[in-house]
Amino acid sequence: MPSKENLKVLIVDDSITVRELLKKQMLDNGINNIQSVKSGMEACEIVPSYNPDIIFLDINMPQMNGVETLSKIIEIKPDAYVIMLSSLGTKEKVNETLNRGAKTFLMKPIENENLQRILSELEKK
């Protein structure tokens, strides 16, 4: 995994507020290469060309939900490091996403210490 400064991050969430807050958290943590999209369809379109190191993916989105999007992303990029996000994460949904290839799950709003922990773990890989 590249150093924090060189990480490519993709944020996928239908809420512009969540996208902007998470982008600010990334910038505050020294990550500058950030793309954000509002739908699973857009995520699937950008993953092949952008080739993100980390994908933050909301579970609950209209049209193509996070579980469907996760499956498609894993088809496109089998080694994708996907972190699922939700403000109402049920245990079933969390387990389903982990079984489909997500690396971990975070509750929204994301606490900075949780984000820093994940980024530190990634730097060690």
41-50 pLDDT, tens digit per residue, is 999 999 999 9
The Cα–Cα gap between 122 and 83 comes to: 12
9-43 pLDDT, tens digit per residue, is 999 999 999 999 999 999 999 999 999 999 999 99
85-118 pLDDT, tens digit per residue, is 988 767 788 888 999 999 999 988 899 999 999 8
53-83 pLDDT, tens digit per residue, is 999 999 999 999 999 999 999 999 999 999 9
The Cα–Cα gap between 88 and 41 comes to: 22
DSSP code, position 4? G
**Which pLDDT score, from 0 to 100, does residue 5 have?**
77
User: Nearest-5° angle of CA 5, CA 8, CA 12?
Assistant: 130
- Structural domain boundaries enclosing 76: 4-123
pTM of the model: 0.94
Cα distances (Å, whole numbers) of residue 51 to 8, 15, 63, 94, 107: 8, 22, 23, 24, 25
Beta bridge partners of residue 12, listed in sequence order: 37, 57
Task: Using the predicted structure, report yes or no on whether residue 51 has a pLDDT greater than 80.
Answer: yes
Residue among 10, 15, 39 nearest 109 (CA): 15
Number of domains in the chain: 1
- CATH number of the domain residue 68 falls in: 3.40.50.2300
